[in-house]
Amino acid sequence: VTWRFALEEIEGSVQDAYAQEFKRQIEDMSDGQIEIEIYPYGALGTSSQLTELVQDGSIQLAFASPGHLASVIPEVGVFTLHFVLSDDNDVNKEVLSSSKVHNLFDAPYAEQNMQLLGIVPEGWMVWTGNKPLRTPEDFSEFKMRTMTSPILTESYKAYGANPSPMPYSEVYSGLQLKQIDGQVNPIFAIEEMSFYEVQEAMTLANHAQFITTLVSNKEWYESLPDDQRKWLDDTRAELVDYIYQKQAEFNGERLEKITQNSDIEVVELTDEQRAVFRDASMGVRDIYLEAAGERGQEILDTITSMVEEADSGEM
Ligand code: 6CS
């Protein structure tokens, strides 16, 4: 049998590294019974279109990032909020891979005919722009490209920006033609999509992780023979640490590559500067709760208390 697996990112990306290792392990375990076909970004469509293909069963597996998916599943918009996660990404990995957090999303995904298979951090979100962005004032009237979910655009409205949601594939030309002033993505993506070539500055605020989720069609998952479901479940458990290390490696190496190949300015915000953004971001949580309701409240409370507990245990 063939399992079709669609990515929201191009070859060489974090999602591609995940899919390649997933393919290697599953094909190996199944002794050739299962073949994984990987479709990198561009082969099938935008993130939102990939989600539709999973929902209607045309493909079995895909990545679905909350920045887009929250348009369909508001609960998952929690991962687009700023300053919810820990500053320590090891803590985030533990919290996000816990069954406690995972279980909270089972019902919202199931209602959209999807099975949630993993919540995967891909690195800190970094702002790029035609200038550094040190204060909310710097965002005033700034045309910031965001992913397409309305909950996410609220985060940038809260800083005074003028958010322009658009698919990933349109960002480079948007920046080049100056239809937008900036965008936000993890470093590995800023490098592989060449965004740094058409931007003046990168601002590191560590305000959020780029989070994606691995999904499958729900009926497909439920109708898998026991051995196949076990291979799938074992592999996704196995890949939690694998992909966490890969994203750290990719983001580290590519920051070096960017600074070697360009004279883009790299600005790291101080704790005081971050605190101003943190304060400005808090009201967006209410907008999230309006959209995601009681389930959203439980999700936000669970994640914030797990993060707090882990952070205080570490100090
Ligand atoms: O900005 C986006 O739309 C995309 N960014 C990344 C790093 N992965 C997928 C997502 O769609």
Residues 6+ apart with CB under 8 A from 79: 66, 67, 70, 119, 208, 209, 211
Q: Which atom of ligand 1 is nearest to the CA of 148?
A: 3
- 3-40 tens-digit pLDDT: 999 999 999 999 999 999 999 999 999 999 999 999 99
pLDDT digits (tens, 9 = 90+) for 241-263: 999 999 999 999 999 999 999 99
Ligand 1 center to 315 CA (angstroms): 33
The answer to whether the CB of 202 is under 6 A from ligand 1 is: no
Q: Among residues 60, 83, 52, which one has the least CA distance to residue 2?
A: 60
128 lines ligand 1 (CB under 6 A): no
The whole-model pTM stands at 0.98
Our mutation pick for probing the ligand 1 site, out of 18, 193, 210, 211, counting the most ligand atoms within 8 A of Cβ, is 210
Residues 270, 272, 276, 278: what is their CA dihedral angle, to the nearest 10 degrees? Answer: 70
**Nearest residue CA, atom 5 of ligand 1?**
185
User: Alpha-carbon distance 181 to 139, whole Å?
Assistant: 10
- Supply the ipTM of this predicted assembly: 0.99
50 lines ligand 1 (CB under 6 A): no
- Residue 8 Cα to ligand 1 midpoint, Å, equals 6
Q: Which of 202, 192, 186 is nearest to 123 (CA)?
A: 186
Atom index in ligand 1 nearest the CA of residue 122 equals 7
Q: Which of 13, 148, 168 to mutate to test the pocket of ligand 1 (most atoms within 8 A of CB)?
A: 168
Shortest-distance atom of ligand 1 to CA 14: 7
Residue nearest to atom 3 of ligand 1 (CA): 168
pLDDT of residue 43: 96
pLDDT less than 70: residues of the chain: 314-315
As beta bridge partners, residue 128 has 183, 202
**CA distance to 21, 111, 193, 234, per residue, from 59 (Å):** 19, 18, 25, 21
Residue 234 corresponds to which tokens in the numbers above? 């074992």
Counted residue by residue, the chain has a size of: 315
CB 66 within 8 A of CB 155: no
pLDDT of residue 313: 83
Task: For domain 2-314, give the CATH number.
Answer: 3.40.190.170
CA of 270 to the centre of ligand 1 (A): 26
Residue nearest to atom 4 of ligand 1 (CA): 168
Q: Whose CA is nearest to atom 1 of ligand 1?
A: 168
How do the domains of the chain map onto residue ranges? Answer: 2-314
Residue 126 CA, ligand 1 centroid: distance in Å: 12
- Shortest-distance Cα residue to atom 9 of ligand 1: 8
